[in-house]
Amino acid sequence: MSEQATTDPYRHYVNGEWTDGHGSETFDSENPATGEPLATFHRGTEADVDAALEAAEDAFEEWRELSHIDRAEYLWDIYHELRERHDELGEIITKECGKEISEGKADVAEAWHMVEWAAGNARHPHGDVVPSEIGSKDAYMRRKPRGVIGCITPWNFPVAIPFWHMAIALVEGNTVVWKPAEQTPWCGQIIAEMFEDAGIPDGVFNMVQGFGDAGAAISEDERVDTVLFTGSAEVGHEIASKVGGEPGKLAACEMGGKNGIVITENADLDIAVHSAVMSSFKTTGQRCVSSERLIVHTDVYDEFKDRYVEIAEKVAVDDPLEEDTFMGPAIEPEHVEKIQKHNDLARQEGAEVLVDRFELDDDEIPDGHEDGNWVGPFVYEIEYDSDLRCLKEECFGPHVALLEYDGDIERALEIHNDTPYGLAGAIISEDYRQINYFRDHAELGLAYANLPCIGAEVHLPFGGVKKSGNGYPSAREAIEAVTERTAWTLNNSKDIE
């Protein structure tokens, strides 16, 4: 892994140094496809977070004085490294978080797209010049860095999401304390090495490995000016409610979804089946944009169901390091249990189970991978009822409800919008009026037409509404969370009126 981290376990990166930290506990990163340990890491404590925050505070005054373009230079080095190490890093991601190698490599590409966007942004206009009410005055909106940004990230995009948060925060002149997910510390180690290799000044970038207690120590500390969080609704709401009460502190939290695809009576069923399969099973359903509800018009319901179920019966899990693998394992044994609980809940609430491959047969598990966290598709149909928890709670696995609707697009949207979440969703339709109605009425941050709910372009805002998000800790809109705005008025005359 690292030339600098010569001891095992791997260390935190604080104030430009690799450190064992103050705690005595360590934890292992494991390969979800085999159960094998990959490496051991020091577990961060409150004292480690304290040291990292102190370093970030100290480094802020000098860092903010550099120009945007000078700060971006460090990011350009990382951009080139991400590109050069594309295949190698994709493989590491796949080994540590289990997603298919094509998805591991896509994660790296998304990271460099984000770094390219953030570093390129250094040469873009910042703020606004507005006309003044008085001719002799100039009026501007100027942006300033906020200070120390605490970044807390999930395991499922272990390289891309940290750069969603950190790249723009750093270019805008903030310093950073980051905690990678406990399931993907190896990816964290590599990113920290990249910042070190780029020669970023001491204290500007700091990484503390660890669990939720270290995350809470970051988000709750008064020295943190903005928290950028991506992860579960449970944790994000806890952070937002605690931090939201503190004047002057921001928490931009991106969370989960209970995403749906509406398939109307005139849908192209090839597109519908492809979109549903990709959205529900890719990355084993463990994407924030994965679809767990398919809302299908009665006129095409039976044909769609037959075609979708036929594929769900056959979708194969395999070694995620193989190029043509469609579906890898779940992240960890606890998550397999959680998926099972969601499947059980659907059954208890009256689901008609169409496919139950939660427990795969031995011959479906790839050779040599018997200790991996394998699960297969669970597909059910159920009559829509607003009281059903199985239609409202995110499973984050290959767990899919088919819901038949009869009526117009308004009825489809009633069902679609009946979840506490509002992250991603799609419509499959050949009728532009239905598509436009969906665009205007779906309670979503990310909406797709005639496409799977999959992927994101970094120069678009990425985030959800309702319970899925309270701000945009990523992409273009994150600038709002990492800068302060000053209304600046300059008098060009001697007249002080």
Q: Is 235 in the site for ligand NAD (CB under 6 A)?
A: yes
Kindly tell me which residue out of 112, 155, 281, 374 binds ligand NAD, with binding defined by CB under 6 A. 155
Return the ∠ at Cα 281 (arms to 276 and 285), rounded to 5°. 110
Kindly tell me which residue out of 98, 203, 215, 377 binds ligand NAD, with binding defined by CB under 6 A. 215
Q: Is 467 in the site for ligand NAD (CB under 6 A)?
A: no
Q: Considering only the stretches 39-47, 168-176, 210-218, 354-362, report the one whose residues sit in contact with ligand NAD under the rule CB under 6 A.
A: 210-218
Site string for ligand NAD, 273-292 (x = CB under 6 A): ---------------x----
- Directed axis angle between helix 233-244 and helix 212-219, to 10°? 30
Closest approach, Cβ 184 to ligand NAD, in A, equals 8
Helix (H), strand (E), coil (C) string for the chain: CCCCCCCCCECEEECCEEECCCCCCEEEEECCCCCCEEEEEECCCHHHHHHHHHHHHHHHHHHHHCCHHHHHHHHHHHHHHHHHCHHHHHHHHHHHHCCCHHHHHHHHHHHHHHHHHHHHHHHCCCCEEECCCCCCEEEEEEEEECCEEEEECCCCCCCHHHHHHHHHHHHCCCEEEEECCCCCHHHHHHHHHHHHHCCCCCCCEEECCCCHHHHHHHHCCCCCCEEEEECCHHHHHHHHHHHHCCCCCEEEEECCCCEEEEECCCCCHHHHHHHHHHHHHHHHHCCCCCEEEEEEEHHHHHHHHHHHHHHHHHCCECCCCCCCCCECCCCCHHHHHHHHHHHHHHHHCCCEEEEECCCCCHHHCCCCCCCCCCCCCEEEECCCCCCCHHHCCCCCCCEEEEEEECCCHHHHHHHHCCCCEECEEEEECCCHHHHHHHHHHCCCCEEEECCCCCCCCCCCCCCCEECCECCCCCCCCHHHHHEEEEEEEEECCCCCC
CB nearer to ligand NAD: give 264 or 474.
Answer: 474
Is 332 annotated as catalytic? no
Kindly tell me which residue out of 154, 188, 376, 452 binds ligand NAD, with binding defined by CB under 6 A. 154
Site string for ligand NAD, 418-447 (x = CB under 6 A): -----x------------------------
Is 443 annotated as catalytic? no
Residues numbered 250-269 forming contacts with ligand NAD, rule: CB under 6 A: 254-256
Instruction: Out of 97, 253, 288, 390, pick the active-site residue.
Output: 288
Q: Considering only the stretches 62-70, 120-128, 149-157, 398-406, report the one whose residues sit in contact with ligand NAD under the rule CB under 6 A.
A: 149-157
Q: Considering only the stretches 53-61, 176-184, 295-303, 373-381, report the one whose residues sit in contact with ligand NAD under the rule CB under 6 A.
A: 176-184
Kindly tell me which residue out of 27, 396, 405, 472 binds ligand NAD, with binding defined by CB under 6 A. 396
Q: Is 153 in the site for ligand NAD (CB under 6 A)?
A: yes
Encoded tokens for 480: 């709002």
Closest approach, Cβ 250 to ligand NAD, in A, equals 15
Q: Considering only the stretches 5-13, 84-92, 228-236, 488-496, report the one whose residues sit in contact with ligand NAD under the rule CB under 6 A.
A: 228-236
How many residues touch ligand NAD under the rule CB under 6 A: the total is: 28
Closest approach, Cβ 161 to ligand NAD, in A, equals 6
Site string for ligand NAD, 287-326 (x = CB under 6 A): -x--------------------------------------
Closest approach, Cβ 256 to ligand NAD, in A, equals 3
Q: Is 219 in the site for ligand NAD (CB under 6 A)?
A: yes
Kindly tell me which residue out of 156, 259, 291, 434 binds ligand NAD, with binding defined by CB under 6 A. 156
Task: Using CB under 6 A, list all residues that contact ligand NAD.
Answer: 152-157, 179, 181-182, 211-212, 215-216, 219, 230-232, 235, 238-239, 254-256, 288, 394, 396, 423, 464
Residues catalogued as catalytic: 254, 288
